[in-house]
A and B are shown apart, each in its own frame.
Chain A
Amino acid sequence: MRALKKFYQILCKPAVHYSLGFLTIGGFVAGILFWGAFNTALEATNTEAFCTSCHEMRNNVFEELKPTIHYSNRSGVRATCPDCHVPHKWVDKIARKMQASKEVWGKIFGTISTREKFEAKRLHLAQNEWTRLKANDSLECRNCHEFDSMDFTLQAERAARQHSSSLASGEKTCIDCHKGIAHELPDMKGVEGYQ
C-alpha cells in the first residue's frame, strides 16, 4: 500500500531532472515504438502460419481448406485464414482478437484436441461463424467479392439466377448459400435450406 502511494506521488509531481522537451519528444518516440511493436505482434497473429501452428487448425480445418478454390486456383490468389475469419477494420479486428482469447482457453484445456472432439463441436463452431457472417452481411466475403463488380452474364445460369434475385434484393447474403465453401460441413440436419 505504501509503495503504491509513493508511486502515485511520483506520478503527480512534475519532473525535476528531465526537461519538458525530453519528456514530450521521448514520450512520442516511445509511443511510436510501442505502437509499432503492438501492431507487428498483432499482424503476426494474423497469418496462415500462425493459425496453422496449432494442430487443431492444421489437421482439421486447414486440411479441408486445401482442395478448395480459396486455397489454390488458376490465378494464384489465396484467401488465407484471417481474410475470412478476422475483420479488416481495426476496431472490429481488436474485438475479434479479444474474443479469440476464448480460443486460447480452448487450446489450453484441449477442447478440440482430437478429431472426435472437433467433430462433436463442429456444428457449434460453424454456427458461430455463420452467425457472425450473417450479422455483418458476409463482409469478409465482400472484401473481395463485390456485388457491384459481378457480371451475371459470365456466371453459370444457376449462379446468375440466385445472384440476380435473392442476393440482389438483400434477402439473402453470401453465407446463406455458400456454407462449407472452405471447410467440411457439420451435420446439417435442421439447418435452414438443407434437407
Chain B
Amino acid sequence: MKKLLLATLLLVSSVVFAANEGVMSLRSQSLDVQDPAEKLKNYPKENLQQPINYIQQPPLIPHHIRGYEVDRKTNKCLTCHSFKNFKRYGATKISVTHFINREGQALSDVSPRRYFCLQCHVPQVKAKPLVENTFEPTGALAE
C-alpha cells in the first residue's frame, strides 16, 4: 500500500513537473524568466492616418502630446479640440457625447467623466504587436 502511494505520488509530481516546463508566456518566454526590457519607442510628431477599427472606438490621437497638461486646473487638449476653439485651429471637435453625464443629461460644458481625454484617447507608436492578432474590422469599417 505504501509503495503504491509513493509510486502514484512520484508519477503525479513528474507529470506536474513536465507540464510546468512547457508553460510559456505569450511572448514565448518561460514564466520564470524576466523579459528583457523593450526598447523605448518615440511618439511620432504626427501620424495622421489612424483608422477606426470598431464601432465606438475612441479615435486615436494622431500627434505627439509631450508636456500636454490635462488636470483639474487646465486641459491642453481642449484649447484646440473644444467646441469653442476647434474651427480656429482646424482640429477635430470633441463629440456631443462628451457633454452628457451618467444620468443622461446634456450639460453646458464637458462632463467631468469625459474631461480626462487620455482615459480613452491615446497616441500610438509604430510598434510591432507583442503577440499575433487576427482581428479584422467588419461591416462598415472593413476596408
Contacts and interface: CB of A to CB of B under 8 A. Distances in A.
Interface stretch (A52-60, A78-86, A88-96, A186-194): A186-194
A146 interface: no
B41 to A, nearest CB: 14
Contact of B46 (A156, A184, A187, A193): A156
Interface residues of B, number: 21
Interface string A154-195: 001110011000000000000000001100111110000111
Interface in B24-73: 45-46, 48, 63, 66-67, 69, 72-73
A195 B75 contact: yes
A69 interface: yes
A126 to B, nearest CB: 11
Q: What is the interface residue range for chain A against chain B? A: 10 to 19
Contacts of A188: 73-74
A187 B73 CA distance: 4
A158, A181, A184, A195: most-surrounded residue (chain B CB, <10 A): A195
B79 A186 contact: no
Contacts of A193: 79, 85
Nearest to B48: A157
A38 to B, nearest CB: 38
Interface of A: 67-69, 156-158, 161-162, 180-181, 184-188, 193-195
